[in-house]
Amino acid sequence: MPSRDAMAALLHLLPALLLLLPSTPEATSSALLGISYGRVGNNLPPATSVPQILASLGVGRVRLYDADPATIRAFASTGIELVVGVPDECLATVSTPTGAASWVGSNIAPALPATKIAFLTVGNEVLTGANSSSLSRYLLPAMQCLHDALVQAGLGKHIAVTTAHNLGVLATSYPPSSAYFRKDLLPMLCPILDFHARAGSPFLVNAYPYFAYAEEPTGVELEYALLEPGHAGVADPGSGMHYTNMLAAQVDAVYHAIAAANSAAAPAVEVRVSETGWPSAGDANETGATPQNAARYNGNVMRLVAQGKGTPLRPAVPLRVYMFALFNENMKPGPTSERNYGLFKPDGTPVYELSYHLPQDNTTSSSGGSITGGGGYNGHGYGSDNGGYYSISAAVKATMVSSALLYSVLFLIIDSFDMLKVNFGLLERFLH
């Protein structure tokens, strides 16, 4: 392991090292669709198999819920962009400058520059979660301290800091123009919005039309909740805007709530969907949790996002979404639906047929992908050449190989700091 002095030198050099790297595929930087990769299961495949699935699916962004080193390392040299989670239990620690700098140095710096990390999400649904009373006071200080730690490490322009909220932060969401935040949360949300405006980071929301439909199936049309393109839509009497799907309405409800809470910060804050999905199975009382509905919803999410359009309130801001989730996770607590949001089973086979193909510019590979019973899956399990998963394209492999060469050189230099006693100034002149 590098010494403390070597690590400090690495943190100082990271911006220069990042500039030396070949650019990742243009598709990755422009992709609007991502997927959440949860790992609450005891039968999940190795993380090293995941980039292969993503390549054929056509997804170039992944949201992680922690900073597990092996999982992050699995995405090295792939061009896949990561959102790395700072778990709830770490919030108190990273809410101080020293703790935040230590966390960045231990969990983020070692992964760079091989792995592309774009965001840190500080906690998940902290303000409305079961531990909100004990954790909420740490949320903003943790975001600020982590942002400062990244800036001090020269990474502030490469990695942004945000947090993901449950739609429960809204006191009301319908119609969208009448939405506003819960009054008890305003003392925390208003300064968080100021932070986003200053730092240029997005406001993330976990938005699930499924919950709205399941709670009131007679009052919410299934086609509207499933984002079916042929649905007539719903008018907002307050704004006069027309919503053809519920996801856009939920996003605009958040925009309206932000404007009502903090009009000064609102123009600078973009809303992104950090989770959305539909379960393929559920308990008897979980209306609509079927493979057919899950296939329709997730296919429509992919189609909607691939259009590159915004919402009625923000038509010029393309909708950015992370689907939930990559795998069914058999150890998640709660109702049956919680364990059945995955697009894939743990053995790598699709849970259901999802025939929609993302366009080429939304993928890191040379061709779009789809979730189907065939499409490259060889059915041989983990003993096959590609581990039983979809194969990765030749174009991606070529990019990975060329990038890996430079990454190897960089990390050989880093790992040799102590052995060779390389002078920092000499190394910096060499790199330039």
Between CA 387 and CA 226 the distance in angstroms is: 33
First to last CA, the chain: 25
Q: State yes or no: is 125 an active-site residue.
A: yes
Q: Is the link from the previous residue into 47 a cis peptide, with omega within 30 of 0? A: no
C-alpha closest to that of 13 among 80, 113, 142: 113
- Which of 81, 125, 223, 329 does the annotation list as catalytic? 125
Alpha-carbon dihedral of residues 66, 70, 74, 79, nearest 10 degrees?
A: 50
Task: Report residue 69 as tokens.
Answer: 């080193």
Count Cα atoms within 13 angstroms, Cβ side, for 187: 3
3-state secondary structure of 318: coil
Backbone angles phi, psi at 336, to 5 degrees: -55, -35
How does DSSP classify residue 391? Answer: P
Q: Describe the crossing of helices 4-20 and 424-431 by its angle, rounded to 10 degrees.
A: 10
Catalytic residue list contains 270: no
User: What's the CA dihedral at 164, 170, 176, 180 to 10 degrees?
Assistant: -120
Residue-wise DSSP of 342-378:
-SB-TTS-BSS-B-PPPPGGGSSSSS---B-S-TT--
d(CA 172, CA 180): 6
Question: Please, what is the Cα angle at 175 between 266 and 200, to 5 degrees?
Answer: 20
Residue with tokens 């030198």: 9
354 contacts 298 by C-beta, under 8 angstroms: yes
User: Exactly one of 89, 215, 223, 275 is catalytic; which is it?
Assistant: 275
Q: How many CB atoms lie within 10 A of CB 283?
A: 11
Catalytic residues: 125, 275
